[in-house]
Amino acid sequence: MATKKHKSEAEWKQKLPLLSYKILREKATEPPFTNMYVQHKEKGAYVCAGCETPLFHSDAKFDSGSGWPSFAKPIDKDRIGEQPDTSHGMQRVEVLCCTCQGHLGHVFDDGPLPTGKRYCINSGALGFKKESNENID
């Protein structure tokens, strides 16, 4: 498991673009179909925008039609935290980065086999590292 990274809210505000700050630190959600990674097709790793922990590999990405980048599984289950989310009168499971505790999105049980999971993640919570000959973990 990655070492946890702690910053003050002032440090997060200085480090992150406004949209990323609102998503990662205030649990906002970006509008569907407006984000940079929903149609992104390059090979590589999607990383946390807050701490650059590799979270999802492009091979696990699929088009869910939801308007947000969707993944069938994380690179490593230990990099993702899950907790109940009952905000907005809904019963969901929130997905967090285990390294910086940033809000990423939600996970649902309507994804493709074999996992059956759909990690519905905000683009503003992500960065991308293009695949190279080096290990992306």
Q: Which residues are known catalytic residues?
A: 120
Residue corresponding to tokens 């929903």 = 38
Torsion angles phi and psi, residue 86, rounded to 5: -110, 20
Q: Report long-range pairs for 84-92 (Cβ below 8 Å, ≥24 apart).
A: 87/27
CA–CA dist 120, 21 (Å, integer): 18
CB-count burial class (<10 Å; 0-12, 13-18, 19+) for 28? middle
